[in-house]
Amino acid sequence: MSVSRPDILFVMTDQQRFDTIAALGNSHIYTPNIDHLVRRGIAFSNAYATCPVCVAARYTIRTGCEPPTTRVFSNAKAAAVAGQALEMEARCGPYLGRTMSRLGYRTFGIGKFHTTPWNEDLGYETLWRCEETYHPPKREGDDYGSWLAGEHPDFDFLEQPMGERSEMYYLPQRSPLPAELGGEWWMADRAIEEIAKSGDSRPFFGFVSFVGPHPPLAPPIPFNRMYNPDRMPQLVLGSIQEDHLDEEIPFMRHAIWADAINPELAKIVKARYYGEISYLDHCLGRILDAIEARPSRDNVLVCFFSDHGDLLGDHHGWQKQNFFESACRLPLLLSWPAMLPAGTIRTELISLADLFGIATGAADACEVRQGIDVLKMLRGECAPREYLVGMVEIPGSQDFKVMVLMGEWKYIFMANGGREQLFNRRHDLNELSNCVSSSSAIRNDLYVLAVQACRVPGAMDALDGDKLRAFPFRKRPLMRICQFDRSRGVLGFPDKPEDALKDFDRATLRRVK
């Protein structure tokens, strides 16, 4: 069957675990619109973020290149190495938005892009930003923030309209805004407008990037009370010694005040996390309704995915930036009724780098870069990848980690102490039994693949001859991360409590006068 080039919509959530979709087995959650995508197309059950942290994952998506090439191994950019071009697009090629524009698509981007710098040009013809935090000196650069201040000034006093951060980061909250004024709702409104635009014969490529369910976990009414904490799934906990072999996990647990969370509070937090997912699912449904209203609705490719997951209390940890399944495995759904089968689950290893080839392949100009041609693989015209490699933190640094996925096995090496983990993904779904000693032959084979993966520009410093570089174990000094509204000059807690009232007292005096 011959069809014209499709309209393409990428929808990304932030920090959504792979196991949060009702149609894929989670009986605790309500996700009717994500479920619709599952029934409408293909679900990939082995999709991974090869660097599971926000900024790094996003650069992999927009470039089609893995971290050694992007040189983004965390939420900060590392410098290019010798032989690499200094600028990102010179090193990787034009960004996805710019590439799709050059392929003749009407392009728009909406939501959180988490670029460095924050206002980086991403190549979309239309760009609507809704970042999770605001940048100094003012918040006018954020389209959602300026819209909220201009259209609903009664809420402009809010420093953090998406929920309080810092010590409240993982404490259950309710949104200070009604649902229809929240960031996800605003993004859905913009997407609906863009999808409905007429008078342009070009197909569209849209990228909608939701902020949720990234903490703080503050769903609006009534999504804040959808889930009874007593009905939430139990945490997955191994021995704390094994769970904390990766020093990043206890370090981050303290940094974002999550060391105060006990198992019962963790279930309350999960209930709010699920509420966030149901809220964005509702907003996604409004976007899908706009697609269904199009005459060519069967020729719209919708790709739904997240940038990474969240431990959410599993393995005595919180956040991401590690290689437990809860953090690095993600949901990835692909539907295109005119071309792809419905209600299908595929088990091949998929990386976020593959999204570049999905978009360009659907546009009849496939450019895989460092991914694979997923659409071609689905047609049986090329083999799936044999294994997948992930990296976190700068190669050659003490905090560097590398993961190898192959068949039923996952191997993790941590430069800090030369620590290792090996899990059988088929028989140990919760990753509770470290098989490094009992399956040494498998460990050795995957270690060789990890070394081989580091023999590329951008990762060579991870090696010490023919071995992965290891350091004597170092416990990282504990610290707290403060996240306040920098656009209003709030950088942290005051040295003296009364210092927080200085601007408040002046503002009160002005109102009285």
pLDDT band at 199 (very low <50, low <70, confident <90, very high): confident
Q: Where are the alpha helices (DSSP H) in 78-235?
A: 88-92, 96-102, 143-151, 183-196
∠ CA 177-180-182, nearest 5°, is 50
pLDDT at 507 over 90: no
Q: Tell me the pLDDT tens digit for each residue of 282-294.
A: 999 999 999 999 9
pLDDT at 510: 56
- Give which of 300, 41, 336, 303 is closest to 196, Cα–Cα: 300
The burial class, CB within 10 Å (0-12 / 13-18 / 19+), for 476 is middle
Whole-number average pLDDT of the chain = 95
Average pLDDT over residues 387-407: 98
Q: Residue 481 gets which letter from DSSP?
A: -
Buried b (16+ CB within 10 A) or exposed e, 302-335: bbbbbbbbbbbbbbbbbbbbbbbbbbbbbbbbbb
pLDDT at 89 over 90: yes
Longest Cα separation, the chain: 78
Q: What percent of the chain has pLDDT over 90?
A: 92
Domain 7-385: which topology?
Alkaline Phosphatase, subunit A (3.40.720)
Q: Per-domain residue ranges for the chain? A: 7-385, 387-481
127 DSSP β-pair partners: 109
Average pLDDT over residues 405-433: 98
pLDDT at 506 over 80: no
- Give which of 64, 1, 126 is closest to 366, Cα–Cα: 64
Q: What percent of the chain has pLDDT over 70?
A: 98
Q: Tell me the pLDDT tens digit for each residue of 351-381.
A: 999 999 999 999 999 999 999 999 999 999 9
pLDDT at 1: 44
Phi/psi of residue 170, nearest 5 degrees: -115, 25
99-to-10, 299, 353, 399 alpha-carbon distances in Å: 15, 21, 15, 34
pLDDT at 140: 79
pLDDT at 68 over 60: yes
Residue appearing with tokens 């393995």: 315
Per the CB < 8 A criterion, the answer to whether 220 and 177 are in contact is yes
Q: Tell me the pLDDT tens digit for each residue of 221-259.
A: 999 999 999 999 999 999 999 999 999 999 999 999 999
Q: Tell me the pLDDT tens digit for each residue of 153-173.
A: 999 999 999 999 999 999 999
Average pLDDT over residues 465-473: 98
| Tokens representing residue 114 in the block | 């988490």
pLDDT at 493 over 60: yes
Buried b (16+ CB within 10 A) or exposed e, 386-414: ebbbbbbbbbbbbbbbbbbbbeebbbbbb
Q: Where are the alpha helices (DSSP H) in 256-293?
A: 263-292
Average pLDDT over residues 193-208: 95
pLDDT at 511 over 70: no
pLDDT at 491 over 50: yes
- Give which of 321, 217, 305, 325 is closest to 261, Cα–Cα: 217
Domain 387-481: which topology?
Arylsulfatase, C-terminal domain (3.30.1120)
| 249 Cα distance to chain centroid | 18
Q: Tell me the pLDDT tens digit for each residue of 265-321.
A: 999 999 999 999 999 999 999 999 999 999 999 999 999 999 999 999 999 999 999
Average pLDDT over residues 6-11: 98
Q: Tell me the pLDDT tens digit for each residue of 112-151.
A: 999 989 899 999 999 999 998 887 767 778 999 999 999 9
pLDDT at 2: 57
Task: Give the sign of the dihedral formed by CA 155, CA 156, CA 157, CA 160.
Answer: positive
Average pLDDT over residues 421-442: 97
